[in-house]
Structure 1
Amino acid sequence: MITHIVLFKLKDRSPEAIAQTVQVLKDMEGKIDVLKHIEVGTDIVHSERSYDIGLITRFESMEALGAYQVHPVHQKVIEHITQVREASVSVDFES
């Protein structure tokens, strides 16, 4: 199993902007066959080093992660994220 974690810091950190992006991410559920698990959460600490949104996804293999990266549904999410993010970081590991 491959776990893919991404943290997003948005340009507009208002509750409405964060909620909109959370929904965009959650809307992937059930639409990408290789996506075996998705979890989306928002930061509750709000420190200077905090990111606004955390995304955890799981895939059966590196090939499945690669298929996710180019899937049309995920590409639409990338379009949204590119417009709204200030920064993002990610990590991928075997789990």
Structure 2
Amino acid sequence: MAMINHVVLFKLKEYPKTEKEAVLLKIKTALEALKDKIEQVRHIEVGLNYELEAKSYDLCLISHFDSVADLDVYRVHPEHLKVVSLIQETTVERAAVDYEF
């Protein structure tokens, strides 16, 4: 049975280095906590770009779901929406791909 892989990349707003590190850790912690708050999340992994001053994206979210329907439940879940608010406050770009694997 195919699962859905939800991959999202985020680029943060301009921050001083120490503040950027703190913001990235806050987002990472909030995203990883969703695994225990939303039952449809089968796997969640959050990676921070090792190069803080990279011109590319700063953070990558990889999460797995049993179906598109489960991904849709996740998208509107109140706990996810709280994290979305945090991300919208701190980022300037987002890119996402959802695919079966």
Report the TM-score when normalising by structure 1.
Answer: 0.92
Instruction: Out of 11-20 and 81-90, give the one that drifted further.
Output: 11-20
Match of 2:21 in 1: 15
Q: In structure 1, what is the Cα distance between the partners aligned to 2:89 and 2:54?
A: 23
Q: In structure 1, what is the Cα distance between the partners aligned to 2:23 and 2:85?
A: 15
The RMSD of aligned alpha carbons is 1.2
Q: 2:62 aligns with which of 31, 56, 62?
A: 56
Q: Which has the higher helix share?
A: 2
Q: In structure 1, what is the Cα distance between the partners aligned to 2:43 and 2:63?
A: 5
Give the ranges of 4+ consecutive aligned residues of structure 1 lying more than 3 Å apart after TM superposition: none
Q: 1:71 aligns with which of 60, 77, 85?
A: 77
Match of 1:2 in 2: 4
Structure 2 unaligned residues grouped into runs of 5+: none
Structure 1 unaligned residues grouped into runs of 5+: none
Task: Determine whether 1:27 maps to 2:29.
Answer: no
| Partner-residue secondary structure (3-state), 1:66 | helix
Question: Across the two proteins, how many residue pairs are aligned to each other?
Answer: 94
How far does residue 47 in structure 1 lie from its aligned partner after superposition? 3.0
What is the percentage of aligned positions where both structures have the same residue? Answer: 38
Q: In structure 2, what is the Cα distance between the partners aligned to 1:86 and 1:19?
A: 17
Q: In structure 2, what is the Cα distance between the partners aligned to 1:74 and 1:21?
A: 12
Deviations 1:14-51 (A, max 9, x none): 21121111111112121101010000010124532x21
